[in-house]
Chain A
Amino acid sequence: MSPLLEVRDLRVEFPTRRGVLTALDGVSFSIAPGEVLGVVGESGAGKSMTGAAIIGLLEPPGRIAGGQILLNGKRIDNLRYDQMRRIRGREIGAIFQDPLTTLNPLYTVGDQLVETIQTHLGLDVAEARKRAVGWLEMVGIPAAAQRIDSYPHEFSGGMRQRVVIALALCAEPKLIVADEPTTALDVSIQAQVIALLKGLARDKGTSMMLVTHDMGVIAETADRVAVMYAGRIAEIGPVREVVKHPKHPYSAGLMASIPPLDRRVDHLAQIDGAMPRLSAIPRGCAFNPRCPEVFARCLVERPALLATGATEAACWLYDPVSEKHAPEAMRHG
């Protein structure tokens, strides 16, 4: 099946007074129809930037400096603003972290839903309103017919995020880009929202790109996961493989440093140092200063994604030509 979304060698740059910063460098992946792709990484790894580039909402002066983004085989990275506007909402829905800034505080949630539905589906007001109530019911808002005329501030955080989800889904897009949709919520509410997103994506056959720093959320929701580091994809593969048998030393370190809930450990595994700033990304592999497996080639040559079993990892350990090979058993977190 041809992918719904394809990102090829995407490069995003920020021109600054002190030179051009490369925020995303050679990012490639695809999302199949109905698939949920999780994108994880630490702050500054470029995961939100990837989402913003796809929905055409890069903050200036950020710009796409190379590569292509294809939706259903058609390029969308070079569209004009008004053309992209038609795609946002209709073809690609977006959910952001903070529901308060997504919703307009001066309009009732009904107004906002009706406007979106009318704009994209061309229905009359009465029909659009009927659909809006339907969507609010679907995302689990009690007494939707009455609540539709409430303002965003009259809802609690969890309910507001449900409204945002309804807003993203109401034009029935094929792809949803969800950027930290549950991060602002408490765990008990978070579980409700994840269950909702998962159910809706399954029922409607919607594809989703789920950006989050919470590995637990990814593990429960995603089919595949991409681990990002310093603006590049370090590893991508089926979520189970990446969580249980991470191949890239960074993903392995990341998984190992998550505190376990089921036992107490005396010393958590830690990755020493910090992610490099965009202005000081090292030559070769971006992870080389922190990598326990580093060898000569990593310092000079940047690794591309190499197939290793079920996943692909950007690491020279998996290139048969490299001098150093990692025994399979060593690669566990």
Chain B
Amino acid sequence: MAETPILEVDDLARSFDVSRPWLQRVLAGEGKRILRAVDGISFAIPRGTTLSLVGESGCGKSTVARLVVGLYPPSRGRVVFEGLELERARAIAEQRRRMQMIFQDPYASLNPRWRVKDIVAEPIRAFGMTPSAAAQQAKVAELLTQVGLSPLDGEKFPHEFSGGQRQRISIARALSSNPDFLVCDEPTSALDVSVQAQILNLMKDLQARLGLTYLFISHNLAVVRQVSDRIGVMYLGRLVELAPAETLFTTPRHPYTRALMEAIPDLEMTGRQRIPVGGEVPSPISPPSGCPFHPRCPLADDRCKAERPVLLPARGTEASLTACHAVEEGRDGGVPAAQRVGTTAIAL
């Protein structure tokens, strides 16, 4: 057995109470409304690798990111970081500094009234990591150089930078406490495509150099393919497929994963008729019974409507874990032929 993973998540769930105020509820005679953002998911991330979570908006992927770093307490299940329960790990500064987060919007995540050098040095100060001001300054200069900025940029304010440069500042700040594990919540979705390429390349370089472990959250499958070792596909708060990156793209098994890949606009213009998946994502307040995907699934039968599927090794591609009765029973037509080749996607 390999060494213990840096992060383990077991049956993690988080629900939010979105009920109306008590009096209105009583007058209208309605019950509480509970939104199950994340509903029982489990995964582990081995050291030095990248696990990506993909899914459409509202599938709960960002909630997982926040649960993993402890910004939300879980409603059920547990997060284990370096063999310690998250709550205990976070009580120890030495453990806490090893985990950092990069947010989606570099315009909102940097304090506009602070100079860049103070933003980058904040974790260093908070964890009391360097004794002298000079050492701190040297560290900030080193970090800024590492992310492709100039040490002189430390004197500037965030508004003097473009979106891509700001995201570099966020990365420098995240790296300043020498973390091992970074949670990246859509780090490139607010950026233009040429800048996105810069940031993805930077993140890959840093991972190779510093041995970082990433939990990468994204809705863009093409981006995810470039950075991941393993990929989890989420739908309505659950993992529907968890597979090695290459396996997921060459042989997607869950009907939702296949539909998602089918829906991506095709840069190669093979003129193929795409069959968009019908319907929309149901509300997580009243999710469908059984498999959450069954109202939109072409393979759904009575069992799918009644019984919730669990993640099992898929027939034919045992490396993929798939939560699907049809795959388990072999009703899905087995391992799909090699996916269409020569396709490129997606947003600039």
Contact = CB atoms under 8 A, between A and B. Distances in A.
A268 B225 contact: no
A219 B269 contact: yes
Interface in B258-279: 259-269, 274, 276-278
Given A195-B274, A195-B276, A272-B198, A261 B265 contact: no
B200 A220 contact: no
Contacts of A214: 265, 346-348
Q: Among the interface residues B165, B276, B281, B341, which one has the most CB atoms of the partner chain A within 10 A?
A: B276
Given A40-B348, A253-B194, A187 B56 contact: yes
B125 interface: no
Nearest to B205: A267
B219 A257 contact: no
Contacts of A195: 274, 276
Interface residues of B, number: 53
A261 B343 contact: yes
A4 interface: no
A263 B344 CA distance: 9
A219 B195 contact: no
A191 interface: yes
A186 B348 contact: no
A258 interface: yes
Interface in A170-216: 186-192, 194-195, 213-216
A215 B268 CA distance: 11
Interface in B117-160: none
Given A259-B226, A268-B201, A268-B226, A240 B219 contact: no
B57 A186 contact: yes
Interface of A: 40, 42-43, 156, 158-159, 186-192, 194-195, 213-217, 219-220, 239-240, 243, 253-254, 257-272, 274-275
Q: Which 3 A-B pairs have the closest CB atoms?
A: A216-B265, A42-B192, A191-B276
Given A187-B260, A188-B276, A268-B197, 12 more contacts: A187-B263, A188-B280, A188-B281, A191-B265, A194-B265, A214-B348, A220-B266, A239-B269, A259-B222, A262-B342, A267-B204, A270-B201
